[in-house]
Amino acid sequence: MGSVIDVTIEEGSLTEKKPTVVFVLGGPGSGKGTQCANIVQHFGFTHLSAGDLLRAEIKSGSENGTMIQNMIKEGKIVPSEVTIKLLQKAIQESGNDKFLIDGFPRNEENRAAFEAVTKIEPEFVLFFDCSEEEMERRLLSRNQGREDDNIETIRKRFKVFLESSLPVIEYYNSKEKVRKIDAGKPVEEVFEAVKVIFTSNSEKATV
């Protein structure tokens, strides 16, 4: 199974069609998944969740999946190249040219590796800014049977998010690529703000 993931990218097959990539970042419980579903429906993007791709790989029972599972259990971040190869494979197989990449890059090293390997820079970064109290409340109230939704694990995930992801947001901010959304508001209001960003961006693209 490992060989399926080790896709060697021939002469930049990804760069030929230069897909549009938007990174979606926000703490656990900031509502990224819900808003990504809305963006897919309204703007025709393909939603790639780094976490979902990793979970699917674990489910497949491959050697790679076992390694990923062990790292997640220990609270470690999965090596960049593993996640990037899963993302690349999903991009190539989708047939679309517009992608929301959710929950990635998790840190500066992820970001640099993604750009170096894929030669893709994101169009922009959608950052769902939400207070820790609000995210905690949401995570504890959603009962999706995810074993990682207990208070200790939640706080650990916040800490990892803040320490790892903020440098990524700062980096893209310096390039004026961050679009910050107040994610503490009700879902409909948040999506109104999201729509404005995507509509103005697609207008710019067609100019």
pLDDT level of residue 148 (50, 70, 90 thresholds): low
The pLDDT value given to residue 121:
93
Q: Supply the range of the domain harboring residue 25.
A: 19-48+99-198
Q: Is residue 2 part of a domain?
A: no
Which of 8-22, 68-82, 134-148 has the highest average model confidence (pLDDT)?
68-82
Strand, helix or coil at 23?
Answer: strand
As a whole number, the mean pLDDT across the chain is 85
* Cβ neighbours of residue 36 closer than 8 Å, sequence gap 6 or more: 24, 45, 47, 49, 100, 102
Q: Is 194 contained in some domain?
A: yes
Is residue 200 over pLDDT 90? no
Binding residues: 29-34, 55, 76-78, 103-106, 110, 142, 146, 157, 185
- Res. 20: pLDDT tops 90: yes
CATH, residue 105:
3.40.50.300
pTM beyond cutoff 0.85: no
User: Does residue 171 fall inside a structural domain?
Assistant: yes
pLDDT of 113 over the 80 cut: yes
In SS3 terms, 51-91 reads as HHHHHHHHHCCCHHHHHHHHHHHCCCCCCHHHHHHHHHHHH
- Please check whether residue 205 lies inside any domain of the structure: no
Task: Judge whether 71 lies within some domain.
Answer: no
Q: Is residue 158 part of a domain?
A: yes
Q: Which residues are annotated as a binding site for CMP?
A: 110
- What DSSP designation does 184 have? T
Binding site, annotated residues for ATP: 29-34, 142, 185
Residue 4 lies in a domain: no
pLDDT of residue 205: 59
Q: Is residue 55 part of a domain?
A: no
Q: Which residues are annotated as a binding site for a ribonucleoside 5'-phosphate?
A: 55, 76-78, 103-106, 146, 157
Read off the pLDDT of each residue in 6-25 and give the average, rounded to a whole number.
66
Number of domains in the chain: 1
